[in-house]
Amino acid sequence: MAAEGARPSLTSISSGELRSLWTCDCELAVLPLRQLLLLQAEAFRLRGPLLLHLPGPHRGGFNVFGHGVVRLDGRLYRLGNYIKRFVELTSHRDYKDYRETVLSRPMLFFTGVRTGAGPSCQEKTYVLLVNTRHPKIRRQIEQGMDQVISSVFGESYSLRFDFQQVVKSFFPPGSEVVNGEDLSFAYEFKSDALFDFFYWFGLSKSTVEVHGKVLNLSTTSSAKKETIKLFLEKMSEPLDRRTSFSDRKFSVTSRGSIDDVFNCNLSPRSSLTDPLLTGLPIPGVMESEES
């Protein structure tokens, strides 16, 4: 019962929660899609039947995962410029490019949440933000990829990362997460092995349930919305790789400390500190919608 009492509110966020946030403390975050559109108007735009995602310059912005459509206020919108939730990879170069692409920016997923029953039933679309710069989150994704490779010997395999359980645990009892599979992404590596027995019999399919602390970014307060807007802007900035990292508190009154919120002190492993590829995402991964 104590855990339920500590559950964040779905209608407001404690300003103290953001003021006391240390660098990289944000592992996962949830907020309504309508609020995201308001606070990130330059990155997400509604244009007729389209919901356009406009990535930031110099590899800034978010990696948006989806299946082509998003529901908002009862209407379906076609999603433009996103990464397909399931992709097929056929070479080690494809795998390397995909891995570096999905880890290069914070991830964003859409999900519907239904509350109430009968005539009072309501459904609202939320977004899940996954901070891939947080060491705990990044470690789970990288270790999942590394472990599945070490368990196969040149055979085909598939790997899925799932955030359903952590999101379901975030919302109060009685809430229903609609289309929970939208809170996941997966890839399948197709090798040229002559006999793929383990793959044929479904023995090389793995799922990693990603866990982390969820920060509630829902609010109706104008002052808090401005704070969250700055927070999201910092989160979506291009990764600043420096030789040393600061770990200062986030303050709603100090712009200097805001600039350091997401400069994470990552693990010294070379895979985390070497510059990411500057090339385009691998063919077939990105989907765009012409305006």
Q: Give residue-wise pLDDT tens across range 140-186.
A: 999 999 988 876 666 788 999 999 999 999 999 989 999 899 999 99
Residue 125 φ then ψ, to 5°: -95, 130
| Distance set, CA 230 to CA 69, 214, 217, 246 (Å) | 28, 18, 12, 18
**Residue 219: inside a domain, yes or no?**
yes
3-state secondary structure of 149: helix
Q: How many domains does the chain have?
A: 1
* Residue 46: count of CB within 10 angstroms of its CB: 13
**Residue 60: inside a domain, yes or no?**
yes
Q: Which residue has the tokens 């990879």?
A: 89
Render each residue's pLDDT in the chain as its tens digit; 291 residues. Answer: 444 444 443 333 444 455 444 435 799 999 999 999 999 999 999 999 999 998 777 667 899 999 999 999 989 999 999 999 999 999 889 999 999 999 999 999 999 999 887 788 899 999 999 999 999 999 999 999 998 887 666 678 899 999 999 999 999 998 999 989 999 999 999 876 556 655 555 557 899 999 999 999 999 999 899 989 988 988 888 865 433 333 333 333 333 333 333 343 333 332 322 232 223 344 445 565 544
- How are beta strands 176-178 and 157-162 bridged, if at all? unpaired
Cα-based torsion angle of the residue sequence 208, 31, 213, 142 in order, rounded to the nearest 10 degrees: 40
**Residue 59: inside a domain, yes or no?**
yes
**Residue 185: inside a domain, yes or no?**
yes
Q: How far apart are CA 146 and CA 99, in angstroms?
A: 11
**Residue 42: inside a domain, yes or no?**
yes
Residue 145 near residue 99, CB atoms below 8 Å: yes
Give residue 63's pLDDT.
Answer: 95
Give residue 252's pLDDT.
Answer: 35
Give residue 106's pLDDT.
Answer: 95
Give residue 114's pLDDT.
Answer: 92
**Residue 241: inside a domain, yes or no?**
no
**Residue 224: inside a domain, yes or no?**
yes
**Residue 94: inside a domain, yes or no?**
yes
The DSSP line for 159-200 is EEEE-HHHHHHHSPTT-EEETGGGSEEEEEE----S--HHHH
Strands annotated E in the chain = 28-32, 44-47, 50-53, 63-66, 69-72, 75-80, 82-84, 86-89, 107-115, 122-130, 157-162, 176-178, 184-189, 205-209, 214-216, 286-287
| Distance set, CA 13 to CA 18, 122, 182, 239 (Å) | 9, 21, 25, 26
Give residue 153's pLDDT.
Answer: 67
Q: On the CB side of 195, how many CA atoms lie within 13 Å of its CA?
A: 1
Sequence-distant (6+) residues with CB within 8 A of 187 are: 86, 87, 88, 89, 95, 98, 158, 159
- Residue 193 structural domain: 31-234
